[in-house]
Amino acid sequence: VAELHTRAFPYHCRRHRIFFDTGEVCAGGYKVFRVGSMEEARGSGIAWADSQARTGTLLVAPNVLENEYLRVEMQPNGTFDLTDKRLGRTFAGLNYFEDRGEHGDYWINRRPMFDQVFTSQGCHARLWTEEAGPLQATLVSEVTMLLPRRGNKERQRRGDDVAELTLRTAVMLRAGTEQVDVVVHFDNRIEDHYLRVLFPTGLSGATHADAGGHFGVDHRAIRPQGPTDDAVWPDMATLPHDRFVDVSDGEAGIAFLNEGLMEYEVMDNTERTVALSLLRCVRNWVCTEMRVGSDWPSQKGGQALGEHEIRYAIRPHADDWKAAGIPLAADLFNTPLRPVQTRAHEGSLPGKKASLFSIDNNTLRFSALKCAEGRDSVIVRLYNPTDKAQQGVVCFRASITQAWETNLNEQRLNQLAVRDGHAVEVSAGPHKIVTIEAAHA
C-alpha cells in the first residue's frame, strides 16, 4: 500500500480460490453472483444457494478421474486412457511427446539425414493430484526427456551434447463436461528440434480429417496428396488448422480443440495417430532465393527458447464433427467465461442476468461484432461451416430500427426485415459468410 505523504508498507490479505457451479450463462451476456461468508449471509437475510449442495469428488482413484460422460486413467509413463462412457469406447495411450531433429528454416521443414527421434513413451513420469473436488479435479504428470542440445547441420545429424526437457502436463476434468482439458508447461532450452504431442485414436476406418479453417471446415485426406505418388515431401506432410482437428470413422470420432496451435498431422497408420505441433525450432537463415542465404547464429528467435504454456482439449463424440457441434465447442474453448470481480454498486445493466446478443442456431458460427466503419451502427459477421443451408435469428437486447446485409467491406447489399424491434432473420448458404449491419434506436 502506498500513500502520498508516507512510506509504502506491506498489507497482508487472505486470498481464496472458490469453485462454484454457475449454471447456464446467457449467450453474449452476463450473470451476477454474490460471494461472501456464511456468517454474513445469516446476518443479512439474503437468500444464498447451498454451498454444500455438491459432495464427493471426481477423483475416484489415485490415478483416475471420472464424471457423467468420461473416465480418465493416467498411466505410469504420463499418457492417459480416455473412455467415453456413452460409446463404451476407450482411446488408449493419449498424450505422449515426440521430439526429432529440425534443419529447416522459417518456410520449410527439413529433417536431418541421420535423425534421432525420441518419445516419452519409455519415460517414468512423476504423478500427483493437484485438485480433487466435486466440480473439478486435476491430475498432473511430469516427464523428463534427455535430448540433444542442438543439431549438427554440417553432418546432417543431431549433436552429442544433451540437455533435459521437462514437460509438465495437467489433465483436468470438470463435472458435466464432455471433454478433458490439458495444459502443458515446459522451459525449452533445446535448439534445432521439432516437438509434437501425439494421440493414437484407434480409428482405423477413418480416411479423412476435418480441420477448422478460414470461415469453414477443411475436409482433407489422411494420406498426403501430391500431383503424383512420388511428389509428396514427407517432411512437409503437416497441414494447417484453426482451433480444432477432428478424426471420425462415421460411427465415433475424437476432436482436438486447441488455443493457438497451427499445425497438425494425421498419420497414415492403423492407429490414425494425430500429431499436434508444439514447437519447430530453427536457425535464423534468411534468403531471397534458395541458392543464396544469410545465416545469423546469434539471432535465436526462431529457436523458441524459454517458458511455454500450451492449452488444448480432447473431446470424443459419436457420429461426425457436424453432429457433435465441434466448431461451437472449439469456439467455447477459445473464449471461456470471463469472471469480473467488483464491489456492490449501482449500475446500468438490468437484473442479475441478461443476454445482450444471441444467435438461435448453433451451427451458424459467430465471427465478429464491431462498430461499423463511418456509420453509427453495429456489424455482426457469421458464417456457415457446413455443406447445407442454415437459417437463424440474431437477437439484440437493444432496440434496432433497420438492418442490412453487407459485404466484407461493409457496403450495403440489401435491407433485412427487423422483427419485434430486436431480431433479424438470416439465411446462410453452404460455406457462406454473412455480414449484418444493424442500426440501433
Averaged pLDDT for residues 160-169: 97
- The pLDDT tens digits of the residues spanning 426-441 come to 999 999 999 999 998 7
Q: Is the pLDDT of residue 286 over 90?
A: no
Using an 8 Å Cβ cutoff, are 76 and 124 in contact?
yes
Q: Is the pLDDT of residue 37 over 80?
A: no
- C-alpha 357/C-alpha 376 separation (Å) is 18
Q: Which fold has domain 355-440?
A: Immunoglobulin-like (2.60.40)
How far is the CA of 209 from the CAs of 182, 320, 357, 387, 417, in angstroms?
A: 21, 10, 33, 16, 39
- The whole-number pLDDT of residue 35 equals 81
Better-scored residue on pLDDT, 298 or 395:
395
Q: 24-38, 182-196, 255-269, 273-287 — which is least confidently predicted?
A: 24-38
Cell readout for 265 is 498431422
- The whole-number pLDDT of residue 45 equals 58
Q: Is the pLDDT of residue 40 over 90?
A: no
Averaged pLDDT for residues 313-320: 98
Residue 321 pLDDT class (50, 70, 90 cuts): very high
Residue 53 pLDDT class (50, 70, 90 cuts): low
- The whole-number pLDDT of residue 235 equals 81
Cell readout for 428 is 446462410
Averaged pLDDT for residues 401-414: 96
Fold identical between 59-334 and 355-440?
Answer: no
- The whole-number pLDDT of residue 34 equals 85
The number of beta carbons lying within 10 Å of the beta carbon of residue 380 is 21
The residue whose grid cell reads 515446459 is: 186
Closest residue by Cα to residue 178 from 22, 324, 73: 324
DSSP string covering 129-150:
EEEE-SSEEEEEEEEEEEEESS
- The whole-number pLDDT of residue 5 equals 75
The residue whose grid cell reads 490439458 is: 182
Per domain, the residue ranges of the chain are 59-334, 355-440
- The pLDDT tens digits of the residues spanning 206-238 come to 999 999 999 999 999 997 766 666 666 778 889
Q: Collapse the DSSP code of 385 into the 3-class scheme (helix H, G, I; strand E, B; otherwise coil) and give the result.
A: coil
| Whether CATH 2.70.98.30 fits 59-334 | yes
DSSP 291: T
Q: 18-32, 160-174, 322-336, 357-371 — which is least confidently predicted?
A: 18-32
Q: What does pTM read for this prediction?
A: 0.91
Closest residue by Cα to residue 327 from 400, 421, 438, 246: 246
- The whole-number pLDDT of residue 52 equals 52
Q: Is the pLDDT of residue 380 over 60?
A: yes
Average pLDDT, whole number, for the chain?
A: 91
- C-alpha 392/C-alpha 365 separation (Å) is 11
Residue 275 pLDDT class (50, 70, 90 cuts): very high
| Beta-sheet strands, E only, within 304-347 | 306-318
Q: 11-25, 78-92, 126-140, 307-321 — which is least confidently predicted?
A: 11-25
Residue 48 pLDDT class (50, 70, 90 cuts): low
Averaged pLDDT for residues 307-331: 97
- The whole-number pLDDT of residue 19 equals 87
Q: Is the pLDDT of residue 51 over 80?
A: no
- The whole-number pLDDT of residue 408 equals 96
Averaged pLDDT for residues 357-377: 95
Q: Is the pLDDT of residue 413 over 90?
A: yes
- C-alpha 36/C-alpha 308 separation (Å) is 36
Q: What is the CA radius of gyration of the chain?
A: 26
Residue 320 pLDDT class (50, 70, 90 cuts): very high
